[in-house]
Amino acid sequence: MINIKQLYQARFTTLERVRKRQLWQILCKSFLQRFINNDDLVVDLGAGNCEFINNISCGRKVAIDVNRDVEKFADRDVKVIVSSVKQVKNLFEKSTVDVIFMSNLLEHLDSKEDVFRLINEAYQVLRKDGRLLIMQPDIALVGHAYWDFFDHKTPITCASLVEVLVANGFKIYNLRYPFMPYSTKVRFLPLWPPLLRIYLKLRILQRIFGKQFFVCAQK
């Protein structure tokens, strides 16, 4: 079994962690916040260092991650659940969640069957008109570098994920393809925090540098 804590400690330097937090602050405020209302219950699946859930404004916040370190990273207003994301349907009643967020999560699941099952369970726990927000690297854009992270297991493309979403009853509300660069470990200008706001406004830059996509799917 992969030691997630040990792997992630080796993956990012202290400087990279600081820069990631800065980037997520901008990404939440300048882009993601538009999909979330002030009174929403928001669940961050695979919350990691809680860069998203700590920086988004909403009514109630829940962070779920299998790595117990998530408890150290979450702000005081975040409810933390240490659990596999495969337990979503057991953690929430049906039709009780307003927004579910996943970032760079699905490629870590063991199989496409697991991806399909998670999307289905997300649909079940979301309220009517609830939103599923996903940021995801596309293997068709990334190429072999998709496998440079040891814990990447399942290949995902934008087209294949959209197919799964629609098959499970979701409607595609917003799609950005391509969107963000592949990894925050890449050091080039669009991922320098002062320039990220400009990058988010200019689709031409996203088409040049984007290796991930963003989709907002609605129940």
- What's the chain's average pLDDT? 90
Give the containing element (helix H, strand E) for 143: none
Angle at 145 between CA 122 and CA 163, to 5 degrees: 30
Instruction: Give residue-wise pLDDT tens across range 2-54.
Output: 666 555 554 555 555 556 788 999 999 999 999 999 999 999 999 999 999 99
Distance CA 1, CA 35 (A): 36
Mean pLDDT along residues 180-209? 80
Distance CA 86, CA 88 (A): 6
The percentage of residues in the chain with a pLDDT greater than 70, rounded to a whole number, is 88
Instruction: Determine which of 43-47, 61-65, 180-184 has the lowest per-residue pLDDT on average.
Output: 180-184
The DSSP result for 85-102, as a single string, is: GGGHHHHS-TT-EEEEEE
The DSSP result for 119-135, as a single string, is: HHHHHHHEEEEEEEEEE
In the chain, what are the domains? 4-218 (3.40.50.150)
Q: Can you give the pTM of this predicted structure? A: 0.90
